[in-house]
């Protein structure tokens, strides 16, 4: 059950829900899984500091808690797409976006049905709950 936690320094003017849906769909597509277990949090007007960003420049951070098993190429593809989208959608300069992954075994993720397994490519079409 990935949890994608976005923090953005800017006000987002009601555009959080479409972005959250976009992020869940992107994650599922890149990471070869379904969307039913993807959690997305978006915090706007966050107090963030990134050493390379100017004092008045927009900054965004994505903390992505994901199940172990994804390749470096998949993680990079997701990061690049997120960085580009944050720039296009909310004007966050690419150099002011930071993506951090924390990987966990599937058993660290629990839903009502129980704990998930670690990711394998066998779940690519339906996700871990099917």
Q: Which domains does the chain have, with CATH numbers?
A: 3-109 (3.30.429.10)
Cα dihedral 107, 111, 117, 119 in deg (nearest 10) = -110
Question: In 10 A of CB 105, how many CB atoms?
Answer: 14
The per-residue pLDDT string of the chain (130 residues; one tens digit each, 9 = 90 and over) reads 799 999 999 998 878 999 999 999 999 999 998 898 899 999 999 999 999 999 899 999 999 999 888 999 999 999 999 999 999 999 999 999 999 999 987 777 777 676 666 666 665 555 555 4
Quick count: other Cβ atoms within 10 Å of Cβ 78?
A: 24
Other CB atoms closer than 10 Å to residue 55's CB: what's the count?
5
């Amino acid at each position: 059950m990935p949890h994608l936690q976005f923090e953005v320094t800017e006000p987002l003017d009601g555009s959080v829900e479409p972005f959250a849906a976009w992020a869940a769909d992107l994650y599922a597509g890149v990471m070869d899984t379904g969307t039913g277990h993807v959690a997305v949090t978006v915090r706007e007007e966050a107090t963030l500091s990134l050493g390379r960003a100017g004092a008045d420049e927009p900054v965004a951070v994505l903390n992505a808690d994901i199940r172990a098993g994804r390749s470096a190429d998949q993680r990079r593809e997701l990061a690049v797409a997120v960085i580009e989208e944050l720039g296009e959608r909310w004007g966050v300069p690419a150099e002011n976006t930071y993506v951090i992954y924390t990987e966990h075994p599937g058993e660290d993720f629990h839903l009502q049905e129980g704990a998930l397994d670690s990711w394998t490519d066998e779940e690519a079409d339906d996700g871990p709950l099917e």
